Structure 1
Amino acid sequence: MSNADYEPISKLRILLTEQRYSPVVIGNYCAYAHGFLDYFAQHDLPIMDVTEEQVSKYLQYAIAMFRKRHGRAPARDWHSIPRSGIHALLRLAQGQWPSAPKATCAADALRFAICDEYETWLREERGLASASIDALMWEGRNFLTWQLDRLGPDSLMTMTVGDIDCYMDTRSPHQTRKSVKDVAERLRSMLRYLHRTGRTAIDLSPHVVAPLLYAYEGVPSILTPDQVAAVLQASGADKTPVGLRDHAILQLLATYGLRSGEICNLRIGDIDWRTEAIRIRHTKTRACSFLPLMAPVGEAVLAYLQAGRPVTGAREIFIRTRAPYRKLGLLANMVRRRLKDAGIKPTGKSGSHIFRHARAVEMLRAAVPQKVIGDLLGHRSAESTAPYLKLATEDLRAIALDVPGQEVRS
């Protein structure tokens, strides 16, 4: 390889160093990226033209060469190491990886065009949160792929109710009633957009059949006050960087009942240490709340900032513990791990929302007005807070009423 061919490796090494990867990881990534470049140089294929399918073929080749050199197959998770180095190289070289799919037929071109326009409409005109857009886009892409692959790009204008029923039948097996209803709502959004933009002759969205859910159907999982205390005690005993981070997050969950995204998006400037206040950007309503910074929360966050948070230019408070050091993603896995460490097994779901539910119930039982609870939780309306009332019904079972009976005469 010429010196110019080595340039991507040099750039990759600089990038990984800036992102504070360990020297060992940098060496491994660059070595695997170097082998990847050698392989494609031998096949006269520029790195800018590499596809996902070709990467998969190369990894199979790399596994075969490993077996030939060492006389055995690599460890089961070995392939993740060269893949990470190769993907880092391709992101650097191509600007995006995986690369954007390319249309191979008229159906692909139509689907890509509709999805691009639909995503822009959801974001700019409807102003939806990213998580909502992702869910709507997944369903939209899935439906368009299903319809266009079956009947071609001209089939949208002639779609019937039967087509919609058939799609829902493919999505319904092994789904809960709530999940099927969610699918139906996302499909209705896409069908309304297709009609709005003149791609369907009639609006088929009213014909999407979904199961009927009763108001406040199903009681979500919650933690008791003793269980919340046990989780905080267990996480507080972990003084490692990850322990300090997780404990601060759990304090925020237990104290304010925040959503996962509200914690992950919390920035250093959102805490005013002088006035002891914290600003919360609510992910669903996009409104801001200014709350008092409670002492246990402030102490936990400060301990993490001083002794647990990696050195990084990111402004979010909670950061990954491994390079690249960027803001933390979803909290579900962390919560499940900390519940397990505390010996707690919720009867239902075990994501971060169980702390949110627990906080709501705790306030309801303390006779806090529903409006105040809704403001703390970032609800737009009282109807959003009402389901939490069902969680406190167990209190009614403790009230014994003497029901007068008819006197029995001798």
Structure 2
Amino acid sequence: MLKSSEDPIAELKAVLAGQRYHPRTISNYCGCARRFLDYLEWREIQVENVTEALVSTYISHASGMLRKRHGRSGPHQHPIPRAGIHALLRLVQGQWPPPPKAACAAEAERFAICDEYGVWLREARGLAPASIEALIWEARHFLTWQFRQNGDNSLMSLRVDDIDRYMEMRAPKLTRKSLSAVANRLRSLLRHLHRVGRTAIDLSPHVIGPLIYAYEGVPSILERDQVAAVLRAVGKDRTLRGLRDHAILQLLATYGLRSSEICNLRLDDINWRAESIRIRHTKTKACSFLPLMEPVGEAVLAYLRAGRPAIDAREIFIRMRAPYRKLRMLDSVVRRRLRHAGVKLPGKSGAHIFRHARAVEMLRASVPQKVIGDLLGHRSAESTVPYLKLATEDLRAIALDVPEAELLS
């Protein structure tokens, strides 16, 4: 957080330069921030006390001034940029947007339940941050709906028909799979509410969601020639982004890693002398040490030498634009490279398709299912089965003949 004695614009300029923003972007951000500070001075408001509502008020005011100055209106009106203002507020207040404050008793109750629920999910269940975020979002959504429909103190009298009405409200815009996920998240919340004594009975068994058949959500599969085509196409792209994407796709195609495992891969996870790579499996919290295959090592080394921004972060794969920080998802990278290679798939086309393709390729090479599961970082054999569903023809080819006597019995 910025000290009150410092010049916020000079400090903002230094921070943006340290994050390697383009000089023109730094100038634009600082200009927007300076005009916002002038507005605050005119209103006699300290920047430490700025709220989201005040920022919206300023945007409306600045837009009106722009219309008066240039005579623009309607759809051709250029929006007032907020990025510079947000950067200034993050610097001064330490966090932006600020944490929400309860405006009434119902909101205070909702905040308290969600905070308590989040601690339990993190410390007792040990869930990943992304899973906790999804569960908390559903809890917040449900509690807001419940308090609005039935009052601030209605949890103790929560009934089955309340649950049914909430699910009916959520259903219209969701697919079967998404609605099933809503039902699972709601069951988790209801179990927690009963566990801590906020509801009289455990209503989680009464949440009715759509029936999802086992393994029906398996994504599309890449054939070996399609994988080769994608790697060949991205290998020809010698731009900074191309070097990064080539290293990512080599890791996906060679090891079948999860998107998060690649995003969390660190510089010290690669032992160049021993030619090995350490993988931290995000779901099981275990580590695997795999041989560093030559195509992977060459692609990663080329990226580190010529494509990676020179920053202090220890993660290998970094965004290509400021602020430079580690990548969070790879689906957009995969879709872009599939499109450039001319590979079209009928179903899902995120990073996970390489994981399925690697599993099926190993099955076709007669690799035991246990070994496949170990490479993919699975805790149990059941977790590997969905990845092999797409190889049904291969499984039929190795099916054992059943003796006729057993069929008759």
Structure-2-length-normalised TM-score: 0.93
Structure 2: how far apart are the matches of 1:219 and 1:126? 26
| Residue type of the alignment partner of 1:286 | K
How much has 1:130 moved relative to structure 2?
1.0
The answer to whether the Cα contact below 8 Å between 1:333 and 1:351 also exists between their aligned partners in 2 is yes
The answer to whether the Cα contact below 8 Å between 1:235 and 1:338 also exists between their aligned partners in 2 is yes
Aligned to 2:41: 41
Aligned to 2:371: 372
The answer to whether the Cα contact below 8 Å between 1:66 and 1:73 also exists between their aligned partners in 2 is no
| Residue type of the alignment partner of 1:55 | V
Structure 1: how far apart are the matches of 2:307 and 2:370? 37
How much has 1:15 moved relative to structure 2?
1.1
| Residue type of the alignment partner of 1:52 | E
Aligned to 1:312: 311
Task: Give the secondary structure class of the aligned counterpart of 1:157.
Answer: helix
The answer to whether the Cα contact below 8 Å between 1:159 and 1:200 also exists between their aligned partners in 2 is yes
Structure 2: how far apart are the matches of 1:74 and 1:297? 52
| Residue type of the alignment partner of 1:259 | R
Aligned to 1:234: 233
Distance 1:218 1:110, change over 3 A: closer
Q: How big is each residue's C-alpha offset from its partner over 1:54-102, in whole Å with a ceiling of 9 and x where there is no partner?
A: 212222222233333334359979547x211011011111111111001
How much has 1:344 moved relative to structure 2?
1.3
2:179 paired with 1:180:
yes
Distance 1:347 1:76, change over 3 A: farther
Q: Map residues 305-384 of structure 1 onto 2, 5 A cutoff.
A: 305-384=304-383
| Residue type of the alignment partner of 1:135 | A
How much has 1:22 moved relative to structure 2?
1.8
Q: Map residues 42-121 of structure 1 onto 2, 5 A cutoff.
A: 42-72=42-72, 79=79, 82-121=81-120
Q: Percent identity?
A: 69
Q: How big is each residue's C-alpha offset from its partner over 1:248-289, in whole Å with a ceiling of 9 and x where there is no partner?
A: 001111111111110100000000000010001111111111
Gaps of 5+ in 1: 400-410
How much has 1:105 moved relative to structure 2?
0.3
| Residue type of the alignment partner of 1:223 | L
The answer to whether the Cα contact below 8 Å between 1:184 and 1:210 also exists between their aligned partners in 2 is yes
| Residue type of the alignment partner of 1:287 | A
Aligned to 1:12: 12
Aligned to 2:129: 130
Task: Give the secondary structure class of the aligned counterpart of 2:333.
Answer: helix
Gaps of 5+ in 2: 399-409
Q: How big is each residue's C-alpha offset from its partner over 1:95-123, in whole Å with a ceiling of 9 and x where there is no partner?
A: 11111001010000000011111111111
Structure 1: how far apart are the matches of 2:204 and 2:300? 47
Q: Map residues 285-296 of structure 1 onto 2, 5 A cutoff.
A: 285-296=284-295
Distance 1:228 1:200, change over 3 A: same
Task: Give the secondary structure class of the aligned counterpart of 1:250.
Answer: helix
The answer to whether the Cα contact below 8 Å between 2:158 and 2:199 also exists between their aligned partners in 1 is yes
How much has 1:307 moved relative to structure 2?
0.1
Aligned to 1:249: 248
Q: How many residues align?
A: 395
Aligned to 1:201: 200
Structure-1-length-normalised TM-score: 0.92
Structure 2: how far apart are the matches of 1:351 and 1:281? 20
The answer to whether the Cα contact below 8 Å between 1:221 and 1:354 also exists between their aligned partners in 2 is yes
Distance 1:323 1:120, change over 3 A: same
Structure 2: how far apart are the matches of 1:255 and 1:234? 16
The answer to whether the Cα contact below 8 Å between 2:317 and 2:326 also exists between their aligned partners in 1 is yes
| Residue type of the alignment partner of 2:197 | G
| Residue type of the alignment partner of 2:35 | G
Task: Give the secondary structure class of the aligned counterpart of 1:280.
Answer: strand
- RMSD across aligned positions (CA): 1.9
How much has 1:398 moved relative to structure 2?
8.2
Structure 2: how far apart are the matches of 1:311 and 1:31? 27
Q: Map residues 205-216 of structure 1 onto 2, 5 A cutoff.
A: 205-216=204-215
How much has 1:218 moved relative to structure 2?
4.4
How much has 1:179 moved relative to structure 2?
1.4
The answer to whether the Cα contact below 8 Å between 1:234 and 1:341 also exists between their aligned partners in 2 is yes
Task: Give the secondary structure class of the aligned counterpart of 2:279.
Answer: strand
Aligned to 1:404: none
| Residue type of the alignment partner of 1:163 | D
Task: Give the secondary structure class of the aligned counterpart of 2:384.
Answer: helix
| Residue type of the alignment partner of 2:230 | V
The answer to whether the Cα contact below 8 Å between 2:177 and 2:212 also exists between their aligned partners in 1 is yes
Structure 2: how far apart are the matches of 1:223 and 1:129? 28
| Residue type of the alignment partner of 2:55 | V
Structure 1: how far apart are the matches of 2:258 and 2:187? 26
